Structure 1
Amino acid sequence: MAGIYIHIPFCKQACHYCDFHFSTSLKYKDEMLHALIKEIKLQKSYLNGETIETIYFGGGTPSVLDGDEISRIINTITELHTVSSTAEVTLEANPDDLKPDKLKALKQTPVNRFSIGIQSFFDEDLAWMNRVHRGQEAESSVKRAQDAGFENITVDLIYGYPMLSDTKWKQNLDKVFELNVPHVSTYSMTVEPQTALAAFINKKKQPPMNEQQSAEQFMVLMDAMQAHGFEHYEISNFCKPGHYSRHNSNYWKGVKYLGIGPSAHSYNGDTRQWNIANNAKYMQALETGKLSAETEELTEENRLNEYIMTSLRTIWGLDLARLNQIAKGASDELLKAGAEFFDREWISQKDNVIYLTATGKLYADHIAAGLFF
């Protein structure tokens, strides 16, 4: 079992908070598509013949591609790999791209899941973020996708920024519940270096983010999701029973995956690999039949820490037996390191598995760092 991630490095405009790799020019879209397909062919042996269970188009904004372009990429994958007949094929999309004609075309492709970047239903908040769409478009895009026969939909929301009062945050959540989507991904607004938001804050044009506000809105989020029957299966992700993101769940469970495209990462259990985050250099390398990737051999410590970081964030927890499979006796060391977190009731143990408590979820990164080897 394995997954394939395709990074589409194009956006119509730059959101003020985003530090993902992308270009706002579509001038070289055809050349990039050619390079992506070439990399898929060059990397055909990376997953050692594992069956592909998930394909995920991320970015950037993959919905700038048309149905034929998406099909070309998927067809190349199916020619070189065994793809499960029940594979989850996700396309990240901006609301303004999901027009009726586009949805009709996408219905003819293997895409069977949308991840729609809504972020907020309030126009003033979307303008502050420099999003292309507005609130009504966000709501309409979900309804259009549902009307077109797409039921497996997740939406993204952001909280913890100055313009978002608790009242507005609850209204955003209520709108999602009203739309009856089975999966929601939520993110606290973070200020990444080299973004427009960071520059605005440094120049005192915007106030800094408030950690207390983020924590309180995260608690509101958890309560609301539980009340509406959603499982909190990963720190940032909630779903109705049985509607986990299979692709992202595999990341957290340590399943192998191949990343295609500039800045994309790959993992095969023993090594981690990442492509250069530069469109021109990525395409130039592939034009000469070479990969633009660096590779890191994972040490025992790397594997331990990665497992701690990913597993602790999930509903499935950190299995001490699996930790000992990576390194003999590792569980004893981890339990010693975790004593203070048990005392504070930030983590708990059931049978042989460590879980975050509701309060512990507020400190997930801090706890993971405290347990690292």
Structure 2
Amino acid sequence: MAGIYIHIPFCKQACHYCDFHFSTNTKLKTDLLEALKTEMRLRREETDGWELNTLYLGGGTPSILSVEELVDLLGTAFELYDFAEDTEVTLEANPDDINEAYLAGLVRHTRVNRLSLGIQSFEEKELNWMNRAHNSQEAREAIRLVQKYIPNLSVDLIYGTPGQEDESWIAAIDEVVGLGISHISSYALTVEERTALHSFIEKGKSPSPDEEQASRQFYLLVDRLAEAGYDHYEISNFGKPGHYSRNNSAYWQGKPYLGIGPGAHSYDQKRRGWNVRSNPGYIKELKEERLPLEWEELSTQDRYNEYLMTRLRTQWGVDLAEVSATFGQQYVGFLEEQATPFIEERLLYWDGDLLKATREGKFLVDGIASDLFLLNLKD
């Protein structure tokens, strides 16, 4: 299983918490779409031997593109790359872009068969605080319309925002469950540099996120979705059986992926690459048939660390047999030794030869993983 990610770096307005690469100025959109197609053509051979079964359009806001623009872009991807017949084609969308004509066009003219809606909240005050472009009524209407045309739907929710009450958070979870949505991606609010939120906090205009609140709301989410029949297959992702995101699953299981677009990352299981985070710079290089791409060769230690970070976040856990076969037996011994204190604290546990996070350890899993991979073994 492998996939292609296409980054669409445009948004109507900037959310206060977002540090993804995007621009609210769309005057370069036509040139950028041409550059995306050029990059796809120049990198065709990188996927030789891959079994491509997921194509994901993220951003930014991919739904800012018209149906005609998506037809052209996706048509190029399917013309150049050998995708499986049942490829999952996901489009990230914002509720304010969704209408009946748009969805009908997607179904009629493209292979988009899954939507990921950036709902984030159903509370007006929370949406305003985030500077989202939609309101709660638009969110509910978008969900209703998408389910009519593309039932394979995921929604995003954010918890841990300053002032967010548990009752509001529970109501959002219950509403999503009640609407029969089969996949939920949910993230704790984090403060990233170069964001409006970071500036607000530094200037005293906003309180910092409360970790105790975020932890409490995380476990409210975990428990209520478990009761509703969702599998918690990755720390931030919940799906009904048969409705896991292929894109997310491939990423967290360490499968290769090709990242197309400014700021997009790629991974071929030996190297990690990234494109320049500049729309003009990206366009300029590709107009001259040059890839705006840098690569970093990953050592055995680098790949082991990434394996721990990604797999410990999942329901599949860290597999000792896989560690031994992929990285060497010395890594198995190191892992067993380093994991012992966390097992004693009941943050990790052994499920046979699989190392997994306990319920109590899940919220802390990124910090636990970083402690586990602080090592200096030779390849």
- Is the pair's TM-score, using the shorter chain for normalization, greater than 0.5? yes
Q: CA deviation at 1:327?
A: 2.0
Match of 1:146 in 2: 147
SS at match of 2:282: helix
> 8 Å contact 1:88–1:112 — kept in the other structure?
yes
Match of 2:220 in 1: 220
SS at match of 1:338: helix
Match of 1:2 in 2: 2
Q: Which runs of 4+ in 1 moved over 6 A?
A: none
Match of 1:277 in 2: 277
Match of 2:168 in 1: 168
Moved more, 11-20 or 265-274: 265-274
Moved more, 47-56 or 138-147: 47-56
> 8 Å contact 1:303–1:326 — kept in the other structure?
no
Q: CA deviation at 1:324?
A: 1.2
Q: CA deviation at 1:152?
A: 0.6
Q: How many residue pairs were aligned?
A: 372
Q: CA deviation at 1:146?
A: 1.1
Q: CA deviation at 1:78?
A: 1.8
SS at match of 1:301: helix
Match of 1:311 in 2: 311
Match of 2:82 in 1: 82
1:126-141 equivalences under 5 Å are: 126-141=127-142
For 2:316 and 2:296, locate their aligned partners in 1 and report how far apart those are by CA, in whole Å.
Answer: 27
> 8 Å contact 1:93–1:116 — kept in the other structure?
yes
SS at match of 2:359: coil
For 2:243 and 2:61, locate their aligned partners in 1 and report how far apart those are by CA, in whole Å.
Answer: 23
Structure 2 gap ranges (5+)? none
Match of 1:186 in 2: 186
Could you tell me which amino acid in structure 2 is paired with residue 128 of structure 1?
W
For 1:164 and 1:92, locate their aligned partners in 2 and report how far apart those are by CA, in whole Å.
Answer: 25
Could you tell me which amino acid in structure 1 is paired with residue 24 of structure 2?
T
The question of 1:115 aligning with 2:116 is answered yes
Q: CA deviation at 1:49?
A: 3.8
The question of 1:248 aligning with 2:261 is answered no
> 8 Å contact 1:263–1:275 — kept in the other structure?
yes
SS at match of 1:4: strand
Task: State, as a whole percentage, how many aligned pairs show the same letter.
Answer: 47
SS at match of 2:4: strand
The question of 1:15 aligning with 2:15 is answered yes
> 8 Å contact 1:3–1:55 — kept in the other structure?
yes
Match of 1:258 in 2: 258
Q: CA deviation at 1:237?
A: 0.6
Structure 1 gap ranges (5+)? none
Moved more, 2-11 or 320-329: 320-329
Match of 1:338 in 2: 339
For 2:341 and 2:139, locate their aligned partners in 1 and report how far apart those are by CA, in whole Å.
Answer: 44
For 2:81 and 2:134, locate their aligned partners in 1 and report how far apart those are by CA, in whole Å.
Answer: 37
Match of 1:353 in 2: 354
SS at match of 1:233: strand
Match of 1:157 in 2: 157
For 1:129 and 1:81, locate their aligned partners in 2 and report how far apart those are by CA, in whole Å.
Answer: 38
For 1:79 and 1:189, locate their aligned partners in 2 and report how far apart those are by CA, in whole Å.
Answer: 39
Map Cα deviations across residues 102-153 of structure 1 (whole Å, 9 max, x no partner): 11111121000000000000111101100000011101101011122x1110
Q: CA deviation at 1:325?
A: 1.9
1:225-244 equivalences under 5 Å are: 225-244=225-244
Match of 2:299 in 1: 299
TM-score relative to the length of structure 1: 0.98
Moved more, 64-73 or 54-63: 64-73
SS at match of 2:128: helix
Map Cα deviations across residues 288-344 of structure 1 (whole Å, 9 max, x no partner): 000001100110011100000000000111101111122222111001011110100
Could you tell me which amino acid in structure 2 is paired with residue 97 of structure 1?
D
